Amino acid sequence: MFAISTEMANKAVEILKDKKAKDIRLLDIHEISTIADYFLVVTGTSTTQLQAMADALDEKMELAGYKLHHKEGFRGGRWILVDFNNIIVHLFHDEERNFYNLERLWKDAKTVEVEE
């Protein structure tokens, strides 16, 4: 099961790179939480970019065979959560990412190296 999550996370990273996501952080939380195996935390420069990233994830992950479980925050576009069950993607505007600082909250998670 974890191998599938890793494949999903890598696919999501690839999609987000294509949409020019900044500061991509992949957190392996499977040993410290039951809610998912990975959190993917990224920054976008505008509401429009964040919404485009969310749309691309929804569309391209489905084409790859991964079903969207839940999406929220799309209308506001400052923090969009895209949940694929095994991986949860957090798309942040710069200010919100700094304010909520999920990396600090999940400091016990392993950070997986992502090539920029």
CATH no. for residue 57? Answer: 3.30.460.10
Q: Which domain holds residue 15?
A: 2-112
Residue 114 pLDDT: 86
Residue 115 pLDDT: 77
CB neighbours of 87 closer than 8 A, spacing ≥ 6? 5, 8, 9, 12, 36, 37, 38, 39, 40
CB neighbours of 111 closer than 8 A, spacing ≥ 6? 25, 26, 27, 28, 103
- Taking the C-alpha atoms of residue 77 and residue 49, their distance in angstroms, rounded to an integer, is 9
| pLDDT tens figures, 51-70 | 999 999 999 999 999 999 99
Count of domains observed in the chain? 1
